Amino acid sequence: MKKLLMIGVLALTMGQASAQRCLPKMQGIEVNGSLVDGKAFDKAFSGGVALSTYTKNGSKWVFGGEYLQRDYGYGDTTIPVAQFTAEGGYYQKLLTDGSKTLFVYGGASVLAGYESVNWGETLLDDGARLTDKDSFLYGGAVTLNIEVYLSDRLALTGNVRERCLWGNDIGHFHTQYGVGLKIMIN
């Protein structure tokens, strides 16, 4: 009878183990790509790499780098504006499901970097001269981030973020819609 009871308990609890995700000091590396300002991918895009370190309550610190390029039309050509930024921020866990498969975070970050207008070339093909110059950037971003775990070590991510940067001449606000892949490293 004890064996039958034990088999019954094991059968009922099989697959019920709690996932070991987002534990304190756990780290993950994320690679992501985004559309920028609602433009087509060939007109505006960004990509980045970030390291996340989780805290006691499941929230996370995020440190990373990002490349953002937006092309502005001029006649039959385009003028690329590229931003290289470093990020450091805190993302608060807002929501999770019981199986710890889905996490929703809200975060704020500090950004600093460099912006290049037309790769430093001020003279255009038609003889016009650009007055906007390369410059250093500073500012921040607010982010809504979602992680969906495919396994204990692999997650798909999605985010919506608003960047606000000063020190440049070409627009201070950029909205990004992105997806990524996160691999837990410890």
Average pLDDT per run of 10 along the chain, which is 186 residues long? 59 52 87 91 92 92 96 86 95 91 96 91 80 90 96 94 88 92 93
Segment holding 181, helix H or strand E: strand 173-184
Provide the 3-class DSSP secondary structure of residue 145: strand
d(CA 74, CA 128): 11
Q: How far is CA 133 from CA 85, 155, 172, in A?
A: 17, 39, 15
pLDDT (0 to 100) of residue 7? 62
pTM here? Answer: 0.82
Identify how many contiguous H helices and E strands the chain contains and give both numbers: 1, 8
The residue type found at 183 is: I
If you classify domain 22-184 with CATH, what class do you get? mainly beta
Task: Measure the CA–CA gap between 53 and 23, rounded to whole angstroms.
Answer: 9
pLDDT for residue 2 = 64
